[in-house]
Amino acid sequence: MAETDRQAEAAGLLQQLGLKEYEAKCFVALTRMEKATAKEISDITDVPWTRVYDAIRVLEAQGLVEIQHTNPRQYRAVSLEEAAQTLRRQYQSRVDELQDALETIEPAEISDEPVTHEVWSLSGTGGITSRTLQLLEDAENEVVFIASEESLATDETVEALADAAARGVDVLIGTVTESLREELAERVPDAEIFRSELEWLHADAESGVAIGRMLLVDQSTILLSSFEEESREEKAIFGRGFKNGLVIITRRLMATGLLATRDPEE
């Protein structure tokens, strides 16, 4: 990646954390220099000289920049470690405020009809992983989880599976590869790890689509993801409220490989 691309990426990430465009560009510029004047900052960015002062004032107020009152004034960024800690606190504070605000909003009453079951779609590995973690955290009785490849058994997911097993939830984990089975057996010792016989989880030549992860929680909530081998874009369907034959079929299908050593009625 070219140097200019790295700078643009850093500035973009800072904007996602709440800084405006000129503020982000000025901060990135200052991280590249021991100290600099407003003109020097403007010279290596596309931020107009007069706008540098406004950006610096905001950065100073946020604890990201220090000012030396010479003539002309000199500016420098705080250490990267200190900046990261500052931004992390600010981001977490905003998230906490958002949660509090959303929780105080009264729900809209649209329908009093009870929901027997529901199915939703999810897109993107980040969102699917977040939903997986939430479902594992909410599990009370049983979890059946299958990952088709190592990349989907993230550290966060493995920790969540271990936490569920440690608090008494029956955790069954199926893997397609022997190497992943051995790894999970070591990292989730309270779970029952088995070698899944669902070889069709991998992509076939015709569709180029593979099954990613399968999750069944408390025999009522299902998450099933798939991804295209070429783009690696992961998509999933998520459903809860099932109390019917679909769950029975899904559980027995997911446990293929485990049932060979168990009573089929277990």
Q: Give the mean model confidence (pLDDT) for residues 144-152.
A: 77
| pLDDT score of 32 | 92
Q: Give the mean model confidence (pLDDT) for residues 176-205.
A: 75
Amino acid identity for residue 124 in this structure: G
pTM here? Answer: 0.63
With CA atoms as reference, report the closest residue to 216 among 145, 165, 147.
145
Would you place residue 177 in the very low, low, confident or very high pLDDT band (cuts 50, 70, 90)?
Answer: confident
Q: Does residue 107 have a cis peptide bond before it, meaning omega lies within 30 degrees of 0?
A: no
Average pLDDT, the chain: 83
| pLDDT score of 111 | 59
Identify which has the larger pLDDT, 183 or 74: 74
Go through the domains of the chain in sequence order and give each one's CATH number: 3-103 (1.10.10.10), 118-261 (3.30.870.10)
3-state secondary structure of 86: helix
For 154, phi then psi, to 5°, come to -65, 165
Q: Is the pLDDT of residue 198 over 70?
A: no
Identify which has the larger pLDDT, 206 or 130: 130
Q: What is the torsion angle, in degrees rounded to the nearest 10, for the CA atoms of residue 204, residue 126, residue 255 and residue 237? A: -80
Strands (DSSP E) contained in the chain are 65-68, 74-77, 118-123, 142-147, 170-175, 192-195, 209-217, 221-228, 234-240
Determine the Cα–Cα distance for residues 221 and 244; give it in Å rounded to an integer: 11
